[in-house]
Amino acid sequence: MAPVCVLVGAMGAGKSTVGQALADALGVGFRDTDLDVEATAGKPIPEIFFDDGEEHFRALEHAAVIAALESFDGVLALGGGAILAEKTRAALAGHTVVFLSVGLSEAVKRVGFGAGRPLLAVNPRATLRHLLEQRLPLYTEVASLTVPTDDRTPEDVVDEIRTHL
Ligand code: S3P
């Protein structure tokens, strides 16, 4: 069993919105590894970062990705930083991975003040700019398809993904 599609991309790329819409269109389930991590830890992501640190969060995230890749057959969205781990990127090989790309201004608009996203607690715009630059090669590395999301509706993005599945 494997996900029909794995969505990667930065915070604000629209992974949750597009993922749910794509899953609905395909008649399959939608899963978000952020929620799996929260369920395992028994607390929200900001509390995991605060209490246990980012390294612990990343370990839970990697385990959540592996479990979902092995046991879930719907649309899977990964947290924006999941691709930081080399072992996570390696595990994505052979899967249908769609990179939802987004520009800085649009990402900032979508995440606002970064509520619920501990990495954006301070200076969200500068942080997002840095993360987008740093991670772009990693998203590209794992992606079998890149779909831009700026100035497009979720339905439009879903339609484009579906033509490739
Ligand atoms: C993170 C993105 C978040 C979440 C955590 C860390 C990141 O997920 O996993 O706050 O490092 O980019 P979303 O991309 O779903 O917001």
Find how far residue 1's CA is from the centre of its chain: 20
In the structure, what pLDDT confidence band is assigned to residue 51 with cuts at 50, 70 and 90? very high
How remote is the CA of residue 9 from the centroid of ligand 1, in Å? 9
Task: Assess whether pLDDT exceeds 90 at residue 115.
Answer: no
- Which of 6, 11, 83 to probe ligand 1 with, by most ligand atoms within 8 A of CB? 11
Return the pLDDT at 134: 97
- Supply 57's token pair: 């969060």
List the domain range (segments joined by +) for residue 157: 5-162
> Rounded mean pLDDT of 79-99?
98
Digit-coded pLDDT (tens) for 63-88? 999 999 999 999 999 999 999 999 99
How remote is the CA of residue 116 from the centroid of ligand 1, in Å? 9
- For ligand 1, say whether the CB of 36 is within 6 Å of any of its atoms: no
To the nearest 10°, the Cα dihedral for 103, 6, 29, 2?
A: 180
Return the pLDDT at 27: 98
Return the pLDDT at 138: 98
Complex-level ipTM: 0.99
Return the pLDDT at 109: 94
Q: Which CATH number does the domain housing residue 60 bear?
A: 3.40.50.300
- For ligand 1, say whether the CB of 19 is within 6 Å of any of its atoms: no
The count of domains in the chain is: 1
Phi, psi of 64 (to 5 degrees): -65, -40
Percent of the chain with pLDDT over 90: 95
Which residues have C-beta within 8 Å of that of residue 63, sequence separation ≥ 6? 40
